[in-house]
Amino acid sequence: MDKINGDESKIVLFSGSKGGCGCSFITYCVSTYLASETTKNILLLDLNIGKKDSRLVFNLADDSCRDLGDIEEVINELDISILRRLVINFENSLNLILPPIKIEKNKIVCKDYLEKLLGVLKEHFDIICMDFPNYLLGRSKVCLKDFVDKFVFISLPDLISVNNLSVLTNNIICDGSSYDFDILINKFNTRPAISPTGLNAILNYPIDAFIPYDRDIEFLILNRGPDPIFNYNLRIVKNISAFSKKIYEDLSS
């Protein structure tokens, strides 16, 4: 659980326009791809407090697994010995930190706690992919730009989701500073969907990736995790792989 080389650690924040847009799905897939296809030590940091999504997808049925709620009282003493008991390691250099199941265990997203956590994690992982629910973007007192190297904003192609995405990006990128961010439209082939012309009319920024929906791939991920999907030569897999490569190239440049 150490960085592969001495390069500066990078943080990618994934957030969605609303619940159910597939933010966690994209975060899981990109993290798994980077762990499998690069030489970097990858951490997936799940901040969806009160949710079991990552436990189910990564087949962690044992509720005794440690999570972020277990370090609330020792956050100021956080070191490698505590991290080794907290982080779940997989064979492909992917590492995972689970969110607490109990909603009241949410101190970790407070300013000082989150800053301390990210500071320590950057000492041990090359790339940190944060699954960051959108409600935290407005609640977090951390200046995310000081920590995050790339933002990825995810939306479904329907009218409500895209308009919410427009509000989200405008609220985050509102100070005139330079941000490195990508916009991804998930399940763009589902209905009802806005046309590309309609998307451009609502959004102020270009769209970097379109990910189609595939029921079989979704079923595979839910039952066996993200890793097996990259064995298939399908459009959804190609698009996810291409987007993951883009993120890696952007972080490396």
User: 3-class secondary structure for 138-156?
Assistant: HHCCCCHHHCCCEEEEEEC
In terms of pLDDT, which residue wins out, 130 or 108?
130
pLDDT at 173 over 90: no
77: pLDDT confidence band, cut at 50, 70 and 90?
confident
Nearest to 72 by CA among 100, 38, 33, 30: 100
When the pLDDT of each residue in the chain is averaged and rounded to a whole number, the result is 91
> Is pTM beyond 0.85 here?
yes
pLDDT at 86: 93
pLDDT at 5 over 70: no
Q: Which of 94-98, 106-110, 189-193 has the lowest average pLDDT? A: 106-110
Q: How far is CA 182 from the centre of its chain?
A: 13
List pLDDT tens digits, range 142-169. Answer: 678 888 999 999 999 999 999 999 998 8
Q: What percent of the chain has pLDDT over 90?
A: 66
Instruction: Give the chain's length.
Output: 253
pLDDT at 75: 84
pLDDT at 228 over 80: yes
User: 3-class secondary structure for 86-142?
Assistant: HCEECCCCEEEECCCCCCCCCHHHCHHHHHHHHHHHCCCCCEEEEECCHHHHHHCCC
- Which two structure tokens, joined as six digits, stand for 192? 């009802």
Strand partners of residue 185: 155, 210
CA distances from 74 to 18, 44, 62, 98, 108 (A): 32, 21, 23, 17, 11
Please report the DSSP string for the chain in residue order: ---SSSSPPEEEEEEESSTTSSHHHHHHHHHHHHHHHSSS-EEEEE--TT--HHHHHTT---TTS--GGGGGGGGGG--HHHHHHHPEE-TTSEEEEPPPSSTT--GGGSHHHHHHHHHHHTTT-SEEEEE--HHHHHH--S-GGGT-SEEEEEE-SSHHHHHHHHHHHHHHS-SS----EEEEEESTTSSS---HHHHHHH-SS---EEE---HHHHHHHHHH-SGGGGGS--HHHHHHHHHHHHHHHHHH-
Nearest to 148 by CA among 46, 249, 9, 37: 9
91: pLDDT confidence band, cut at 50, 70 and 90?
confident
Q: What is the mean pLDDT of residues 114-141?
A: 88
58: pLDDT confidence band, cut at 50, 70 and 90?
very high
1: pLDDT confidence band, cut at 50, 70 and 90?
low
pLDDT at 4: 61
Q: What is the mean pLDDT of residues 117-136?
A: 93
